[in-house]
A = this chain, B = another copy of it.
Amino acid sequence: MNGSEMGIGMSIFDDRINTLRCILEQKGIDFYIVPTADFHNSEYVSEYFSVRKYLSGFTGSAGTLIISKKEAGLWTDGRYFVQAEKELKDSDIVLYKSGEEGVPTVSEYLKDNVQEYQTIGFDGRVISADFGFRLETMVEEKKVKFVYDKDYADMVWDDRPLMPSTPIWCVPENLCGENVSEKLKRVRESMAEEKSENLLISKLDDIMWLYNIRANDVECNPVALSYSFITTDKAFIFVQKEAVSEELITYFNNNDIQLKDYNEIVDFLANNSFKGKTWCSKKDTNYMLYKLVSSKTEIVDKANPTELLKAVKNETELENIRKYYLLDSVVLTKFLFWMKKNVGKMPMDEITVAKKLDDMRREIEGFLDLSFPTISAYRENAAMAHYSATAEDKSEIKAEGFYLVDSGAQYIGGTTDVTRTIVLGKISDEMKMHFTKVACGMLRLAKVKFLKGCTGRNLDIIARQPLWECGLDFKHGTGHGIGYILNVHEGPHSLRWQYREDLKEVELEKGMIVSDEPGMYVANSHGIRTENIIEVVNEDKNEYGQFMGFNHLTFVPIDLEGIDISYMEPADVKNLNDYHRNVYEKLVDFFEGEEKEMLRCATRELPFTF
């Protein structure tokens, strides 16, 4: 019997929160915000940065905890309502279901509850400047004080794990295609255009790209915790001492890069006499550093120049990407054939098949890591965004319905991402219709020809049209950029249709790669997503301008058992046949015997209905 059941209402988490409350009271902090973030707004947080989990007991990947005298509240989104209720039930923490009607956002809650002249506290390194400034505006009228100088929760966390600090390695020039000096030259050209004498970068993948280095400090993201400060003639990098080898020191020396300790960044900026303006992105810099820098120098608040430079892959990168996407496609195709062949004949569940696929990828030479935890979802589970099977909560896979697998890996030569949905047995006519429309949308977008100057907002409709025509839609973007031996999600380009006044759109450029992943989800029934990665290429240039298009990087059959040509235009049938002919030609040398027969059958030409 635990405290809660005895009516005492005292779980280990309440304990931790109460201890923290004592410290907060001493420091005069009335509301303390604990988000789920590291100092760089990374997609995943390591154990060291899991303060919210430590304090609340809630283990989901997204959520914010606010602690005041009155209550402790946890905000999380629809993916985690059930899990959060379960994990919070023994504590006094109140669950705020983000997005539900009548539930205030974190900022609204603070606005409504904070009193005049009270103090809001947070670790200024785990709150983005962007969010911090919006919060400042929200509570402007209350004349609130902000305290953000340290992580107060650290004082109550005795056995806190160490900050991740994995060895940093260099990407050789034959693999990255451009050395640091060349990259710094281009960055400084951008700085000159923006009349900035300094540039502060906090975005980890941008720093990795710029210095041609990688590490493993964030799950699935081959990055090192770091900062960089660049002036017109100097480049400083701040990394953890433990991550640095002799070889790396030599590399930095040879490239005239000033090496500093990760923890020196605050002092360095505080003591720096800034000459001219400083480029510093509010979106990508934490509140503490941004406040510090903006108190000392005029700021140019734009996305880091590295973001766009990194997104346009050079020919060396593209050659490696094409090679690894093909190897990755071979493995996924073999895995899907194995599933289709063996389903119903042997026990399978979402976890075991995902493990099999992950293991198959590990066999590819150059494999480093997964690029994100494999999403392996059977039947209705696939209808849930961000579904993640666990040892305790997983579905057995039988010879019926759809199975969806969204997966990818980090290789020394590229980062992959691909989704296929396959038919394991009987599916309804509606499911076939949905599957066919999704496939048509994916293939139409990959086939579209457009003029230079188009952004993702111009093109998104091409993928959605087959669904929109039927009054259907998928509630996520159509595509995102992808890193090169870097994060599987990267900007600045994307494929989405919604308009946002504050969002700067980015033209698609030759050498960018982007996912093309329409889907269709029916709650409690099925989920479909078909995702290829496509490369932006130049087509004809004539008096009308530079025409552009896409080439497929992914070569995995689209399950013909899910296709009903009565839902297709003749051009769609041609698109599918063209793609499958291409898939066969690319993959055939990697297949033999029965598998080769399966490949031939899986990529067979469909007849036209007209």
A571 and B472 CA atoms in complex are apart in Å by 20
A133 close to chain B: CB less than 8 A? no
**Which chain B residues border A499 with CB–CB below 8 Å?**
453, 455, 457-458, 505, 507
Choice from B457, B539, B540, B608 contacting A458 with Cβ under 8 Å: B457
Report the nearest B residue to A523, measured CB to CB: B543
Cβ–Cβ contact A544 & B461, under 8 A: no
Residues in A458-511 with C-beta less than 8 Å from chain B: 458-462, 465, 468-469, 471-473, 475, 497-499, 501, 504-505, 507
A451 close to chain B: CB less than 8 A? yes
A152 close to chain B: CB less than 8 A? no
**Which chain B residues border A544 with CB–CB below 8 Å?**
471-473, 475
Cβ–Cβ contact B458 & A473, under 8 A: no
Choice from B454, B471, B570 contacting A610 with Cβ under 8 Å: B570
Number of residues of chain A lying within 8 A (CB) of chain B: 38
A23 close to chain B: CB less than 8 A? no
**Which chain B residues border A471 with CB–CB below 8 Å?**
449, 539-540, 542, 544, 547
Chain B nearest CB from A573 CB (Å) reads 11
A567 close to chain B: CB less than 8 A? no
A455 and B500 CA atoms in complex are apart in Å by 11
Choice from B461, B505, B608 contacting A462 with Cβ under 8 Å: B461
**Which chain B residues border A570 with CB–CB below 8 Å?**
569-570, 610
Cβ–Cβ contact B465 & A497, under 8 A: no
A545 close to chain B: CB less than 8 A? yes
Each complex incorporates copies of this chain amounting to 2
A469 and B548 CA atoms in complex are apart in Å by 10
A569 and B449 CA atoms in complex are apart in Å by 16
Cβ–Cβ contact B453 & A498, under 8 A: yes
Choice from B453, B469, B501, B569 contacting A504 with Cβ under 8 Å: B501
Cβ–Cβ contact A449 & B469, under 8 A: yes
A450 close to chain B: CB less than 8 A? yes
Cβ–Cβ contact B497 & A468, under 8 A: no
Choice from B473, B547, B569 contacting A545 with Cβ under 8 Å: B473
A448 close to chain B: CB less than 8 A? yes
**Which chain B residues border A569 with CB–CB below 8 Å?**
569-571
**Which chain B residues border A498 with CB–CB below 8 Å?**
453
Residues in A79-127 with C-beta less than 8 Å from chain B: none
**Which chain B residues border A448 with CB–CB below 8 Å?**
461, 465, 468
Cβ–Cβ contact B504 & A468, under 8 A: no
Cβ–Cβ contact B451 & A468, under 8 A: yes
Choice from B449, B458, B504, B608 contacting A460 with Cβ under 8 Å: B458
**Which chain B residues border A571 with CB–CB below 8 Å?**
569
Chain B nearest CB from A196 CB (Å) reads 18
**Which chain B residues border A505 with CB–CB below 8 Å?**
499, 501
Cβ–Cβ contact B547 & A497, under 8 A: no
Chain A 10-40, CB-CB to B under 8 Å as 1, else 0, gives 0000000000000000000000000000000
**Which chain B residues border A542 with CB–CB below 8 Å?**
471
A455 and B458 CA atoms in complex are apart in Å by 10
Cβ–Cβ contact B501 & A458, under 8 A: no
Choice from B459, B497, B504, B545 contacting A454 with Cβ under 8 Å: B497
A460 and B569 CA atoms in complex are apart in Å by 21
Q: Name 8 A/B residue pairs within 8 A (Cβ), A-sorted.
A: A448-B461, A449-B469, A450-B461, A450-B468, A451-B468, A453-B499, A472-B544, A501-B504
Instruction: Point out residues on A near B: beta carbons under 8 Å.
Output: 448-451, 453-455, 457-462, 465, 468-469, 471-473, 475, 497-499, 501, 504-505, 507, 539-540, 542, 544-545, 547, 569-571, 608, 610
Beyond the given A457-B458, A473-B545, please list 13 additional residue pairs across the A-B interface where CB-CB is below 8 A.
A448-B465, A449-B468, A450-B468, A451-B473, A453-B498, A454-B497, A461-B462, A468-B547, A471-B539, A471-B542, A471-B544, A471-B547, A570-B570
Closest 8 CB pairs of A and B: A610-B610, A473-B544, A471-B540, A499-B505, A449-B468, A458-B497, A455-B499, A449-B469
